[in-house]
Amino acid sequence: MNITYMTTSELSERIKYDPRTIREQLKDSVLFEGVHYIRPFGGRKILYLWERIEEDMLLGVSLNTLTVNM
């Protein structure tokens, strides 16, 4: 399985959110450690797991679509 590791800046470019928004509002409320991001070697640096984030974003879209269409 290929995993794409991204910094906060790289993730912000991909999802069109400001890096500060990711750090202050999304991290630990919708993006969770061990699911959407890791801290390699127990350090301070955060690497986001793109495939997990993309999967959850698409899941949210399909759930919202189902709710609206019911």
- Ordered by start, the domain boundaries in the chain are 5-69
pLDDT for res 65: 52
pLDDT: which is higher, 68 or 58:
58
The whole-number pLDDT of residue 59 equals 85
Dig out the tokens for 62 from the structure.
């399909």
pLDDT of res. 61: 59
Alpha-helical regions (H) of the chain: 8-15, 19-21, 50-69
Q: Please tell me the pTM assigned to this model.
A: 0.81
Across 23-42, b (16+ Cβ under 10 Å) vs e yields eeebbeeebeeeebbeeeee
pLDDT by residue (tens digit) across 7-66?
Answer: 999 999 999 999 999 999 999 999 999 999 999 999 999 999 999 999 999 886 555 554
